[in-house]
Each structure stands twice: as structure tokens, then as C-alpha cells.
Amino acid sequence: MTMTFELLVLRLVHILGGIFWVGSVLFTTVILVPALAASGANVGLVMSAVQNRRYLTFLPAVAVTTILSGLRLLWINSAGFSPGYFHSPQGLAFSLAGTAATIAFLSAMLIVRPSAARSAALGQTVGNAPDDQRSRLARELAALRRRHAMASAVTLTLLVMGAGGMAVARYLP
């Protein structure tokens, strides 16, 4: 009974957290930021209003909760990480999908976020920079934006692969 209760709570937390995490990242990356940029809105201003609602604090907290509840579920399913489980198609799929989602989280925190913050700061500086520094700063900014776009695309792909793996793992032959 208590085990069933723990599983129910873990699954609720894990699946609702995962939905919020992947859904928010997809919406922000694929819809919100490009739509703001195309509309001529001040993306930085809008994003700082978004952050005033603690989005960039809440989202990683939800992601960490999803990862931790996933690890506990993996621990339970594999009877304490016994190797046999990871050789079954189901065990392999849950753990690979979990790894993809965890790498996505690390890449978002270590590459995507810092490069976005540095681009925003550098974007301000370039406008006010003296002529002799402007082209160097503009090149730096372009490189940062490429790095950000690339890391964003990789992160999103890993997240969707993680969520997709979670969706099918249990039913693999």
C-alpha cells in the first residue's frame, strides 16, 4: 500500500513536471522568442518581465524535480539499479531517455542560458561602443548567437527524444 502510494505520487510529480518542462521549453524556443523578434518587440524587455514572474527559477526547479523523481522511479523499477534491468529493452529505453533529458538540462544551464545572457549584455555594449571596437564586438556577438542557436537546437532535440523515449519505453517488444 505505501509502495503503491509512493509510486502514484512519484508518477504524478514526474509526469506533470516533465510535461511542464518540455512544453515550456518548446513554446519558448519555437514560438515565443521568434514571434517577439519578428514583431519588432524588445525581446530583452519582454524576457525580463517573464523573469520577473520567476520563470527562469521555476523551470529549472521543475526540471530537477522531474530528474530526481525519475531517478527514484528508475531505482524502484530496477530493484536498486541491478544490471539485468538495463539489458531489457524497457530498462534501456527508460535510462537512455532519462540520460538524454538530463544532458539537455545540463546543456541548457551551462551553455544556452549563459550564452543568451552574454548576448543580451553584449548587444547593449555594441550599440554604445567606440567605432574602433564596434566591429570586433559585433563579430563576438555573432559568434555567441551562433553558439546559442546551436546549443538551443541540440537541447530541444535531446528533450524531445527524452520525452519520446519515456512515452514508448514501457511498450517496447
List of residues contacting ligand HEM (CB under 6 A)? 11, 14-15, 18, 21-22, 66-67, 70-71, 73-74, 77, 94, 98, 101-102, 159, 162-163, 166-167, 170
CB of residue 78 to ligand HEM, shortest distance in Å: 8
Toward ligand HEM, which CB reaches closer, 144 or 156?
156
Toward ligand HEM, which CB reaches closer, 108 or 163?
163
Toward ligand HEM, which CB reaches closer, 44 or 90?
90
CA distance 84 to 77: 11
CB of residue 159 to ligand HEM, shortest distance in Å: 5
CA distance 77 to 74: 5
**DSSP secondary structure code for residue 129 in this structure:** S
Toward ligand HEM, which CB reaches closer, 23 or 125?
23
* Contact assessment for residue 14 and residue 69, using Cβ atoms and an 8 Å cutoff: yes
CB of residue 51 to ligand HEM, shortest distance in Å: 22
CA distance 73 to 173: 21
CB of residue 167 to ligand HEM, shortest distance in Å: 6
- State the cell numbers at 148: 546559442
Nearest Cα residue to 156 out of 34, 73, 10, 13: 34
Toward ligand HEM, which CB reaches closer, 119 or 162?
162
CA distance 158 to 153: 9
Q: Closest residue (Cβ) to ligand HEM?
A: 70
CA 20 from centroid of its chain's CA atoms:
11
CB of residue 65 to ligand HEM, shortest distance in Å: 10
